[in-house]
Amino acid sequence: MRAARLIRLVLLLQSRPSMTGAELAQELEVSERTVTRDVAALSEAGVPVYADRGRTGGYRLIGGYRTRLTGLGRTEAEALFLSGVPSALRGMGLADAASAARLKVSASLLPELRDASHTAAQRFHLDAPGWWHEPETPELLPAVADAVWDDRRVTARYHRRDTEVERELEPYGLVLKAGVWYLAARVEGEGDFRVYRVDRFTAVGPAGPTDRQDRHDRHDRFERLADFDLPAFWEERAAQFARSLLREKVVLRLTGEGARRLPQVTDRTAGQEAVAAARAAGDPDGQGRITVTLPVESLDVAYEQLLALGPEAEVLAPPELRERFAAAAARASALYR
């Protein structure tokens, strides 16, 4: 533990002209007294660390000293490609590996380029979760991520409706969507890929006999399909899921403004396709309106969404939804008389 911290300290000083004891303590998550002891240990080991005294003082390396401990390990290299999503790294337990990787890259750069990571971080930031809710990191996410990195089979128990199911899975990839973690995996012995919400897992452990001592046993590994493309798989599966939600249909007569705004208040793809199909089928009527057939999740959802269009949309069918809008229009009219 201390050896890793000493290496990080040297890399920090190598990547910057000078750092105060307080800055080093914050980066290394230790006390300033520990930093003082670590610097003394490095000096005794022959690393030329110099301490400037005074208010503007700090620690620096003398004479352009450069360590050769800048080679990236596999975990660090992989984590570096995720460094733009810090919350995801923390959730998967890879924050330390990514930090070490960034330090090594920074230490290997020319002096005039060593602030590149800082300047980029101050200009671009990804905040993946949606508004108005605090995302929670699933307790078992680090275990799942560990299996994904190592291509290891796992035995997982998870909630499915009102029951708990156990499956032996080949975990291929993790996806963070609007603050929710999903796992793309194959069930052992089956060919199809499935998607699981990680927060529904109740237990994740090594596959096979439980008396194995080595969690990286070769028998626990699976042969990853070379042509599996996680982004393409997720895009296709997400589109299928979105379409599966649209179980009802409503018929609308829209003004030009209503047609423009329909994709903004309903499912975007469904709204765009409905308007395009209506325009391809014929010209607008004498009042410039078009008639569209729109897939919706339910009549209740459609009611809430289409109210936002006001007089720009007229519901033609089904009759029960048209009656709800007629009643809402009557109530609104009474209020504004």
Pick 65 or 214 by higher pLDDT.
65
Length of the chain: 337
Pick 109 or 12 by higher pLDDT.
12
Geometric angle at alpha carbon 316, from 315 and 321, rounded to 5° = 60
- Provide the mean pLDDT of the chain: 81
Query: Comparing 42-46, 72-76, 231-235, 313-317, which segment has the lowest mean pLDDT?
Result: 72-76
To the question of pTM greater than 0.85 for the whole model, the response is no
- Backbone region of residue 158 per phi and psi (left: phi > 0; alpha: psi in -120 to 50; beta: other values): beta
pLDDT in tens, 134-143: 667 888 998 9
pLDDT for res 105: 59
Residue with tokens 């504004």: 336
The kind and range of the H/E element at 276 are: helix 268-281
Query: Comparing 167-181, 283-297, 313-327, which segment has the lowest mean pLDDT?
Result: 167-181
pLDDT for res 81: 46
pLDDT mean over 164-191: 88
Query: Comparing 42-56, 67-81, 99-113, 228-242, which segment has the lowest mean pLDDT?
Result: 67-81
* For residue 78, pLDDT beyond 60: no
By three-state DSSP, how is residue 277 classified?
A: helix
By three-state DSSP, how is residue 200 classified?
A: helix
Q: pLDDT-derived band of residue 245, with 50, 70 and 90 as boundaries?
A: confident
**CA distances to 3, 75, 124, 271, 322 from 93, in Å:** 20, 11, 23, 40, 52
Determine the Cα–Cα distance for residues 331 and 87; give it in Å rounded to an integer: 47
Pick 26 or 135 by higher pLDDT.
26
* For residue 73, pLDDT beyond 60: no
pLDDT for res 226: 85
CB–CB of 7/69 below 8 Å? Answer: yes
pLDDT for res 239: 83
Pick 210 or 64 by higher pLDDT.
64
Pick 337 or 54 by higher pLDDT.
337
